[in-house]
Structure 1
Amino acid sequence: MRIGLPGAETLKGGSLKALVVTVLLSVFMFQLLRTVGLRAFSMASETYMSGTHSAAFVTCPNDTVAKDLARGIVERKLAACVNIIPAIKSVYEWQGKIEEDNEVLLMIKTRSSKVPALAEYVRSNHPYEVAEVISLPIDQGNPPYLKWIGEVVPE
């Protein structure tokens, strides 16, 4: 019994062409899958438990406070990333009056288990009497990004 590809002498004209085309397409498809498809496949095969990570939000009075808090949060591994979003306008009620202020927003990506420690850090280092710290669980996202958050922020 012979295993492998048939010899050219056993193939008739059309069969040889079909074999060559099949082999060439296979090589091309393998390269395509290697460069594009396997990456997409590996992203899809990663698993993520909904709510494991959270996006937290903190408002700050200015850019200096925002940068100081963001740096402290990341240095202490309370979050993997903090985005500083400038120039927001906040309208809120405080001590019976409607207030309007320019603020800076921090968008913080972390593990949900770190939110209490994050809130404590913000309360201890924020100039507001009552600092905003709210968080929302992340239901879905880009698996490699979510994996990165988990790698940067320890349990």
Structure 2
Amino acid sequence: MKIYYITLNNTDEARKIGRTLLERKLAVCVNWFPITCAYNWQGEITEEAEVVLIVKTQDGYALEIEQVIQENITYTNFMAEISPVAVNQSFLNWLNAEVPVRSLQPTP
């Protein structure tokens, strides 16, 4: 299982991307919520609203998820892959029933 932490500009983007991932069977569940982002930009600290999209899925879907994001936004955002150490079995059963397990190809 993998979890993706993705930052976006607003809830409309998160909703559209999240629903697309679900429709394409690239995720079993998505969550989004507002946050405040502070960062250094051109020598000054800037604060602004952002939205985090959390995507729960199988291993091996990063490229497809990133492609859906790029189909919906034109700016550079953040996407991080998180590997949970432990997940409850009932959730894994649901995940495995909804999102196909990919056989991973060894990297050369």
Q: Which residue of 1 aligns with 2:45?
A: 98
Q: Is the 8 A contact 2:22 2:29 kept in 1?
A: yes
Cα displacement string for residues 113-147 of structure 1 (whole angstroms, at most 9, x for unaligned residues): 112211222123224x2121111012211111012
* 1:132 to 2:103 alignment: no
Spell out the pairing of 1:71-86 with structure 2 (5 A cutoff). 71-86=19-34
Q: Secondary structure at the match of 1:108?
A: strand
Q: Which runs of 5+ in 1 are unaligned?
A: 1-52
In structure 1, C-alpha distance between the alignment counterparts of 2:86 and 2:77, rounded to whole Å: 28
Cα displacement string for residues 50-88 of structure 1 (whole angstroms, at most 9, x for unaligned residues): xxx1110111211111111111111111111001112x1
Q: Report which structure shows greater RCO (CA 8 Å, sep ≥6).
A: 2
Count of residues in Structure 1 that have an aligned counterpart in Structure 2: 101
Relative to the length of structure 1, the TM-score reads: 0.59
In structure 1, C-alpha distance between the alignment counterparts of 2:43 and 2:26, rounded to whole Å: 34
Q: Is the 8 A contact 1:123 1:131 kept in 2?
A: no
Quote how far apart the aligned CAs of 1:97 are: 4.4
Q: Against the structure 1 CA distance between its residues 55 and 100, is the aligned structure 2 distance closer, same or farther, given a 3 Å change threshold?
A: same
Which structure's CA Rg is the greater one?
1
Spell out the pairing of 1:135-146 with structure 2 (5 A cutoff). 135-146=81-92
Match among 116, 121, 127 for residue 68 of structure 2: 121
* 1:58 to 2:11 alignment: no
Q: Which moved more, 1:116-125 or 1:101-110?
A: 116-125
Cα displacement string for residues 6-64 of structure 1 (whole angstroms, at most 9, x for unaligned residues): xxxxxxxxxxxxxxxxxxxxxxxxxxxxxxxxxxxxxxxxxxxxxxx111011121111
Supply the AA of the counterpart residue of 1:75: E
Q: Which runs of 5+ in 2 are unaligned?
A: 103-108
Q: Against the structure 1 CA distance between its residues 148 and 98, is the aligned structure 2 distance closer, same or farther, given a 3 Å change threshold?
A: same
* 1:148 to 2:90 alignment: no
Relative to the length of structure 2, the TM-score reads: 0.82
- The alignment yields a C-alpha RMSD, in angstroms, of 1.6
Percent identity of equivalent pairs: 31
Structure with higher helix content: 1
Q: Is the 8 A contact 1:61 1:102 kept in 2?
A: yes
